[in-house]
Structure 1
Amino acid sequence: MIVTAVAVGTRGDVNPLAELGEEMTKRGHEFRILTSEAFRPLIESKGVTFLRLDTDADHVMKYMVTDYKTSLDFVNGLFKLKKENPRFMEQTIDAIKGSDLVMYGTCSAFARHAAEYLGIKCARYFYSPMDPTRQYSLYTDDFNSDKVLKSYDGLSDGMSLMTIVALNKWRKSVGLPKWKKSSRYTELGGRKVLTFYPTSPLLMPMDPTWGDHIHVTGYWYHPGESIKEFEESEELTDFLTAGEKPIFVAFGKAESPELARLQLLTLDALKKTGIRAVVQAYQIPKKDKINTDKLFFIDNVPYAYIFGKVRAVVHHGGNTTNGLGLRAGLPTLVIALALDQYFYGRVDHKLCCGPKPLYIRKRLCTAEEISDALQDLVSGKYDVTTQTISELIMKENGVMEAVKAIEDYISEG
């Protein structure tokens, strides 16, 4: 079996696919990932075939994360990426030829049209909820209500309208029928499209009204494998063993004036509270990165490694990072940039795994608000529940569930 996954996104979007591909390869299948050149080392380290899509990973980060404030910003970002690579459909068609299955996500839905053109089956993968349910949503803070279900109104129509503008000219040029407002990504060739949510069902329970083509599998990763090559420095060892167990603060590599300000505010909050912390923050000026008995600054470190050395974690709330933290049993504070991150922060809080999330797209939080959230984070009131969640997540095997679903889907013809 040949499976080709198409990914337009950040490392957090690509890494789960590489983990899935590694397992598929071990089982004798060929797994290929079409994505930005920046992710070639990650993909090839897993024994998975890398295929190049001429999309700048830094621009994806800027358009989809840093500049993202509203749904319109997200749409504009996609059109900017399309303009930067006018051959993206030709590259996609060349890459997926011969595949038995094409997998695509939110930002790579164009691959569905390439697959339709070649007569190839499809699967969707999403890291946050896209299928209507009354249990949870990106678009409202409520849970389990009619308001939640109603928040999905217009989502499918919106995706179709964007497709009409972006791809109908191409569809006409290759002889495919026009995409209509009523057209849906959930079906292809009269069959429901296989759909994956690579997150824990503890955070995103299956909706009983969904069909059996939708799978909330658990996370797609093998956490232990990412720490094999890491060598802890003597300075880090000394800091970790010198006093009270620290927290880990990780803000990733997204950059903007707003994020630079947030990182300095967080640094002020850490100093004010006196909470010991390992800090990964690329936009804090070098002059302010002074290691003390309370603070240790670090650049690259495998999260699966450092999460085993700390007592709590602060991050932006991406699905994979959030899952690694909960799997490690760490109370979590999410300071979110985007709706999907804020969603996981709200779910973490609902599960009693961390404080209420801070969402800087609504308003840049203050140092005092961050201080209060940090003190709440280490208060101990989230420790027991988070450990229980950890034990349950440890029993999940999202990769194997996805592999079995793919094999069954293809074998059914």
Structure 2
Amino acid sequence: MQIVIPTVGTRGDVQPYVALGVGLRKAGHDVRIITLSQFESFVTGEGLEFAPTNAEFLELLNTPEGKKAISGGNPLGVFKRVMPMLRAMLDEIWEASRDADAIVYHPKTLASEHVAAKLGVPAIRASVVPLYTPTAEFPVPIINAGRSLGGIVNHATWGLFLMGVYAPYVKMVDGWRADSLGLPSAKQQPAPIAQTLYGYSEHIVPRPADWPDDVVITGTWFLEAETGWTPSGELTAFLDRGDPPVYVGFGSMPSQDPLKVAETVISALRKAGLRGVLASGFGGMEASAAGDDILVIDAAPHSWLFPRMSAVVHHGGAGTTAAGLRAGRPTLVVPTGVDQPFWGARVAALGAGPKPLPAKRLTVDGLASALRELTTDTEMQMRAGELGRQISQEDGVARAIAEIEKMAQGHASA
């Protein structure tokens, strides 16, 4: 089968879908990833076909205006500039999907289910966050993290969230459907979604009892090894010359003051008497000189790095959270927003880490205190290790492939 996988966003929005693509390719399918141009070498390096879509959206998020909007400022000005970029993205996804036998897509792409409807192929919604299937068991993760509001209110939050997410784009998407696909409005002719796959572990978020059968939690879509990656001599030497350090990295979420963040982290590590590995990454931290007890790296595969750490501190992205827990390491989440507080609350509820420490309240004393708890609480360490063993037994990619193949075959024979 020709399987097309559109996804946009940061590295955390791309890597799980590349992992799916690698698994599907190994299973004998042709796979094309449609995503931002900056990820072309990443995609092709894993042996997958690449098709580009508009990268201006992500570039805008890393401007001062975009960073301010993400951090809680007024997003209206950014939104107005994003709309034409999104319209261009829809056309690019359509052009790159015309030969698809199935489309497995990130919901952020907006166009994918409509393209699948035009082609008459199954649209399989794939997400690493439980955002698109209402339940009475907990509120939508973006609105409330860590506590139930009661069944009726919990369920109502999902409708409010989904309406708020998609309503701003309805007019634009309907215009595009008419102009590019020759389809009536989505209200007149909704685009069917054949199945929803969630790429996280049920050991982290148990399956709600009220979810329908066409929603499947597969386990996390881990990319097991990045082709051609080897650790630097500096990194291996640092790891060899002392106790296991604490990993600190804030992923692809832009920071308005990355130098200040790095200074706070380094001071807190030293106050707690701990060695550290700091991942500077896309925009989370900047530190040019750290010292013998701190090593700053650009990035390293979590599957290699995390088992060599004593604990992990990060922004709370779905993939990073899963990687830290699979490694069996106690985890502190320092969330900025979106779904990150939800994952931080889950880690704390599972006993695998302290309560989340919001980035906007990050201080040297507060972080140092959390680091001490993270590295000395034996019960927390035992619980993290137990979770690691449970998650390591799952194969989320294989489960997802089986579901995709079953759905596509059933659709073809219908």
TM-score, L = length of structure 1: 0.88
Cα deviation, residue 85, structure 1: 6.0
Q: Partner residue of 1:211?
A: 212
Q: Partner residue of 2:183?
A: 176
Determine whether 1:365 maps to 2:362.
yes
**Is the CA contact (8 Å cut-off) linking 1:125 and 1:196 kept in structure 2?**
yes
**Is the CA contact (8 Å cut-off) linking 1:140 and 1:148 kept in structure 2?**
no
Helix, strand or coil at the partner of 1:220:
coil
Cα deviation, residue 220, structure 1: 0.9
Determine whether 1:157 maps to 2:163.
yes
Cα deviation, residue 60, structure 1: 6.3
Helix, strand or coil at the partner of 2:231:
coil
Q: Partner residue of 1:194?
A: 195
Cα distance in 2 for residues equivalent to 1:254 and 1:89: 24
Higher deviation after alignment, 38-47 or 276-285: 276-285
Which consecutive residues of structure 2, in runs of 5 or more, have no partner in the other structure? none
Cα distance in 2 for residues equivalent to 1:219 and 1:403: 12
Q: Deviations over 1:332-351 (max 9, x none)?
A: 01111222111111100100
Q: Partner residue of 1:277?
A: 276
CA 1:4–1:340: 2 relative to 1, 3 Å: same
Identity of aligned residues (%): 26
Cα distance in 2 for residues equivalent to 1:55 and 1:346: 32
CA 1:72–1:48: 2 relative to 1, 3 Å: farther
Cα distance in 2 for residues equivalent to 1:72 and 1:3: 38
1:251-266 alignment, distance < 5 Å: 251-266=250-265
Q: Deviations over 1:281-337 (max 9, x none)?
A: 3665555x2322x22222232222211211100111111111111111010011112
Cα distance in 2 for residues equivalent to 1:308 and 1:220: 18
Determine whether 1:297 maps to 2:296.
yes
1:224-243 alignment, distance < 5 Å: 225-226=225-226, 229-233=229-233, 235-243=234-242
TM-score, L = length of structure 2: 0.88
Letter in 2 for 1:177: P
Higher deviation after alignment, 252-261 or 211-220: 252-261
CA 1:215–1:317: 2 relative to 1, 3 Å: same
Cα distance in 2 for residues equivalent to 1:175 and 1:118: 12
Helix, strand or coil at the partner of 1:279:
strand
Equivalent in 131, 140, 144 of residue 144 of structure 2: 140
Cα distance in 1 for residues equivalent to 2:363 and 2:275: 20
Q: Deviations over 1:346-370 (max 9, x none)?
A: 100100111111223xx33222211
Q: Deviations over 1:225-250 (max 9, x none)?
A: 238631341x4333323332211111
Q: Partner residue of 1:49?
A: 49
Cα distance in 2 for residues equivalent to 1:27 and 1:280: 34
Which consecutive residues of structure 1, in runs of 5 or more, have no partner in the other structure? none
Letter in 2 for 1:135: E
CA 1:158–1:252: 2 relative to 1, 3 Å: closer
Q: CA RMSD in A?
A: 2.6
Letter in 2 for 1:133: T
Count of residue pairs the alignment pairs up: 400
**Is the CA contact (8 Å cut-off) linking 1:226 and 1:304 kept in structure 2?**
no
Helix, strand or coil at the partner of 1:275:
coil
Letter in 2 for 1:229: W
